[in-house]
Amino acid sequence: MKRDGKKICMIIGDPVEHSLSPVIHNGGYKALGIDKEYEYLMENVTPEDLKAFIQKVRDENILGVSCTIPHKETVIPCLDGIDETAKTIGAVNMIVNKNGTLQGNNTDWIGATRPLVKVCDLKGSSAAVIGAGGAGKAFVYGLTNAGCKVTVYNRTLENAKPLAIQFGCELRSLDDQDQIKNTDIICNTTSVGMDSDESPINKAYLNKNQVVFDAVYSPLETRLLKDAKEKGAQTIPGTEMLLHQAFAQFQLFTGKEAPQKAMRQALMEHLSER
């Protein structure tokens, strides 16, 4: 679709109005001086309307679509193909329209691993992934692929079994977390701590040798990250996951390298104005 002559990308979800993706992507277009050529929008698409929306992507030649909850799995049958990574993870978080062929990819695992690679060696490290939903799966995929020994911790053991089996991980109940004290990397992928002062991890198990990554980004510094900082651990906020999955999408949508600094700045400015 070319609205006012622009190539259109957009994020879909239900709800979607709080998405920060438009701010990040449009910030990137502006920084590269391609904001007259590209525009990134958002659209609330309900599960019932998903099929019709995908038809619109074809009819109006929309260039790219980022997918968030609840569409990451259900959109797969509507597409012409998905890449191996998305197949393994069982979810897509973006669709690229290549001359009418809709290809699904997954960049969430990139958002999970790139921020960690910047601060520690993944190969040979031990990692605790808290949670076994979509975000948990992206972390487990990325970390095991990079040579980390991953233990999945989940509130409901039964729900996490398929994930642990698929990736050959140890599995523990979230009530049984004392082994976290011997773990190099800790990743929270649950919503615990989102707009609350709760942490999924007992502070007693955090220490200065660890890297603690919280996928939650509201607040920017969650209770888990505050506790980790107080114990001297290295911390990574959820905005880094958001940014790194977006950098990868930006490249796949536009074919241009993402202007990372400008995209991060656009996000931070937006968050500080809220």
CB proximity list for 242: less than 8 A, separation 6 or greater: 20, 21, 24, 111, 217, 267
Q: Which two tokens stand for residue 111?
A: 């958002």
- Specify the residue, 19 or 254, whose C-beta has the smaller distance to ligand ATR: 19
Contact call for residue 27 and ligand ATR (CB under 6 A): no
Q: With H, G, I as helix, E, B as strand and everything else as coil, classify residue 57.
A: helix
| Cα 186 to Cα 188: distance, rounded to the nearest angstrom | 7
How would you classify residue 255: left for phi > 0, otherwise alpha for psi between -120 and 50, otherwise beta? left
List 132, 187, 236, 267, residue binding ligand ATR (CB under 6 A): 132
Residue nearest to ligand ATR (CB): 133
Contact call for residue 188 and ligand ATR (CB under 6 A): no
Contact call for residue 133 and ligand ATR (CB under 6 A): yes
Contact call for residue 144 and ligand ATR (CB under 6 A): no
Q: How far is the CB of 88 from ligand ATR (least distance, A)?
A: 16
- Specify the residue, 134 or 237, whose C-beta has the smaller distance to ligand ATR: 134
Q: ∠ at Cα 48 (102, 43), nearest 5°? A: 65
Contact call for residue 192 and ligand ATR (CB under 6 A): yes
- Specify the residue, 27 or 193, whose C-beta has the smaller distance to ligand ATR: 193
Name the DSSP class of 192: T
List 136, 142, 219, 259, residue binding ligand ATR (CB under 6 A): 136
| Cα 216 to Cα 239: distance, rounded to the nearest angstrom | 8
Q: Give the interface segment with ligand ATR, choosing from 6-14, 98-106, 185-193, 253-261 (CB under 6 A).
A: 185-193
How far apart, in Å, are the Cα atoms of 158 and each of 145, 154, 187, 225, 244? 24, 9, 20, 28, 31
Contact call for residue 190 and ligand ATR (CB under 6 A): yes
Assess whether 256 carries a catalytic annotation. Answer: no
Contact residues: ligand ATR, CB under 6 A: 131-136, 154-156, 159, 174, 189-192, 200
